[in-house]
Amino acid sequence: GAGVSQTPSNKVTEKGKYVELRCDPISGHTALYWYRQSLGQGPEFLIYFQGTGAADDSGLPNDRFFAVRPEGSVSTLKIQRTERGDSAVYLCASSLTAGRGQETQYFGPGTRLLVL
């Protein structure tokens, strides 16, 4: 498939555990974004990458959240010491570039995280 893919599709963990969520962007897209969507809300921006570097991580809620994109393609969102409030759908999106905010972002199906 040519779209954005995310794994796993569902993740159940216990409070205090560490989780990793993976995103495979569309081939050739240099910009990659992570969002979090809580029930009944719109997606909330977390972080975006241009290439390998995090160009803006202002949306990360605290230092338990971290994301990497070491080779400029696949990205991993890492959450340490998970809390029940972290339960949400984590969405990944990619765009061809990140120029001037006009680029269309293509979204993956999301990872539904449940922290018990």
Partner 1 sequence: GNSVTQMEGPVTLSEEAFLTINCTYTATGYPSLFWYVQYPGEGLQLLLKATKADDKGSNKGFEATYRKETTSFHLEKGSVQVSDSAVYFCALSALGGGADGLTFGKGTHLIIQP
Closest CA to 97 of 88, 105, 89, 109: 105
Q: Residue from 22, 96, 107, 112 that binds partner 1 (CB under 8 A)?
A: 107
Residues in region 44-63 near partner 1 by CB under 8 A? 44-48, 55-56, 58-59
- 80 contacts partner 1 (rule: CB under 8 A): no
What number of residues does the chain have? 116
Query: In this structure, what token pair is assigned to residue 52?
Result: 């390998």
Q: Residue from 73, 105, 111, 113 that binds partner 1 (CB under 8 A)?
A: 105
At which residue do the structure tokens 């998970």 appear? 82
Complex with partner 1: residue 77 or 91, whichever CB lies closer: 91
> What are the CA-CA distances from residue 42 to residues 28, 81, 101 (Å)?
27, 25, 18
Complex with partner 1: residue 3 or 16, whichever CB lies closer: 3
